[in-house]
Structure 1
Amino acid sequence: MNATERRQAFRAVLAGSTCVHPASVFDAISGRIAAELGFETAILGGSVASLAVLGAPDHIILTLTEFADLIRRITRAGAPPLLVDADHGYGNALSVMRTVEELETAGVAALTIEDTLLPRPFGPDKPALLSLEEGLGKIRAALAARSDPALVIVARTSALSLTGVADAVARARAYAEAGADGIFITGLTDLAQLDALREATGLPILVGNAKAGLGGAAAFAAHGGRVALQGHATFPAAMQAVHDTLKALRDGTAPKDLRGLPDNAATKRWQRDDQYDAAIKDFLGG
């Protein structure tokens, strides 16, 4: 699929009646594996990108250029339609416009812009929200900046956990009226909150972290949820695998005795040996 087709596929997910779990990806191979396993969509979290590029925690120190470069590697490798966490848009509303331009060019299917006050300001660490007016300005700027109308712009708010349901509903309604394609929420504790957001906006809801025991994807789907994250376990799993492999080698394990490695067939499939072999035959004389 080309970029527009991936965006249309993501829109089909949002327009459907089920709720899907996106694959958390972080590089070309993880994106390709997610596609092979049949994931309808994938996600690159800001925290994951910071780890993958900088080996650093999620303190909003990754640059837009670094983020876009990583995304480009993932999308060109054939990942499922990719949703990315664009945080606060890397600055004010003008920076949001630049962010949308860069990430659209990098091939994302959808991106979120949030109304959390980021990066952390000087002083005590107390999470806070932008004013509704500033948050709304960012969403309007994001919508104005896209050139492919199929690109999905999702307004993200942390209001549920920071200021309460009433403020979350008011913000979501304003973002919907501005033209956002979906609402991404964090801090869900009750399915009635999904109902309130859906009723106020008429938009599909994307669920970040949610209280355990709410019923999972089937329950979310019945209340307007269309995408529900399952955390970002793949990158920590990869870190542990690297650690265990290097430690085993350091401790004297022979390479042939290492555990947890993919077989040659899987490796060749994931790196698309057959396509490169065909290209060598066609263009390099065998």
Structure 2
Amino acid sequence: MVVNVRYDSGTGEYRADVQLQNHGPARHELVALEFVGLPAEVSLRDATGVTPRGNPYIAFSEALTCGLSGEGGFSDPLEVVLDVTGDAAFRWELEIWTGAVDVDGLESEPHASSPVEHFDIAVPFGDAHFDPFFQGNRTIPLKRTGYDLTTGTAIDNPRQHPNRVTSFIDGSTVYGSDLVRAFALRRNDGSGKLKTSAGNLLPLNDAATFTTGTLDNENPTPRDPTTLFAAGDVRANENPALASLHTLFVREHNRRVDELALADPTLSGEVLYQQARAWVG
């Protein structure tokens, strides 16, 4: 939340107070505010450091002295100062396409069915990127990929890591990697369209939407699983950016169905579905 914005036309100085609001359980985490896409005419005063992408950031550690005490709690305000020369426009960019392509080709075995083996990497004290707050106890958490439990028992039986999705880029994030999930995600009303929920969003993974049983879905949170979205990939709810891309692809499928049906009203729902799927995937 950005409040109390002030501008000094004489010096070209912008000042604003930034606060974080918690929308989940109480927590006290390291948080930093990264400024992406600032033009050359804009500089961040008293930046804590620079991210690996070359963007300045400010640490929120001083503003989180008491943590975020429960849902709705606020951090202390943190003043941000930007020095601007000339008439500079601000642009903020969100880079998410790489992740969207990645999930179309790989999904390893869930740790619920495979042993969890950690091999965390220790971070050097005061590392500019991984320990900017000089805590000295930071690590890069890593877990080994889930594997077939019948493998890895001997040199001649090396570990095998099953892939739960199709390995080629075929739109499985939208339609699923097997016929059961693909059929469940369809409206199956002769329209050729995919299911959606209110607001033309992804369908909710509840009994009302999937009457024969809800779909397998990743949910590493305490949220009610029926409040999460269902998509071709089980990781659709991982973050808002990824969920938004899943939503766009479903909307594009249904838009294409309407376009095809208008061009040829004799096409069956099955043909409309398959042609739209070929277009999207």
- Specify the structure having the higher radius of gyration (Cα): 2
Q: Same fold (TM over 0.5)?
A: no
Greater helix share, structure number: 1
| TM-score for both structures, normalised by structure 2 | 0.26
